[in-house]
């Protein structure tokens, strides 16, 4: 198996023993992204709408660095701290994708790193 680590300065650096993304056997596995602006190292101001937008921008930066795009995403997982935010997140999410949409799961979790309201990871394929 060939494995390639993907990293870009446009997205937040990995802050633990993981990579922003790993490409293996025609698939790209993008680690969960938080609403951090890589320029400031801080969360973007605002609520779940602004956070979801930044999270997906970060996903896009990583996809682009690896030579993929949102149209290559086949699966995503959305983590929310409150399912009441689902509709707002879904509106932002829809603005990044076109049909055919990837498979997806979304669920509420007891908490996310640094108090984020949303985190998203994706798998893309060529």
The residue that leads in pLDDT, 59 or 2, is 59
Look up residue 101 and give its two tokens.
């949409």
Q: What pLDDT score does 115 carry? A: 94
Q: How many beta carbons lie within 10 A of that of residue 37, not counting itself?
A: 15
Domains of the chain (ranges; CATH) run 3-125 (3.30.1330.40)
Q: What pLDDT score does 28 carry? A: 98
Percent of the chain with pLDDT over 70: 100
Percent of the chain with pLDDT over 90: 95
Q: Is the pTM higher than 0.75?
A: yes
Q: What does the pLDDT average to over 7-34? A: 96
In tens, the pLDDT along 79-122 reads 999 999 999 999 999 999 999 999 999 999 999 999 999 999 99
Contacts of 44 (CB under 8 A, 6+ apart): 35, 36, 37, 50, 51, 53, 54
Contacts of 42 (CB under 8 A, 6+ apart): 36
SS3 39: coil
């Amino acid at each position: 198996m060939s494995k390639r680590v993907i990293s870009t300065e446009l997205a937040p650096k990995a802050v633990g023993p993981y990579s922003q993304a790993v490409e293996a056997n025609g698939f790209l596995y993008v680690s969960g992204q938080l609403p951090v602006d890589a320029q400031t190292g801080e969360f973007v101001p605002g609520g779940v709408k602004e956070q979801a937008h930044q999270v997906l921008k970060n996903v896009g930066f990583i996809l682009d660095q690896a030579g993929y795009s949102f149209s290559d995403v086949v699966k995503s997982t959305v983590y929310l701290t409150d399912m009441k935010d689902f509709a707002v997140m879904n509106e932002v999410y829809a603005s990044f994708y076109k049909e055919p949409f990837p498979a997806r799961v979304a669920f509420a979790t007891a908490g996310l790193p640094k108090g984020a309201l949303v985190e998203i990871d994706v798998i893309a394929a060529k």
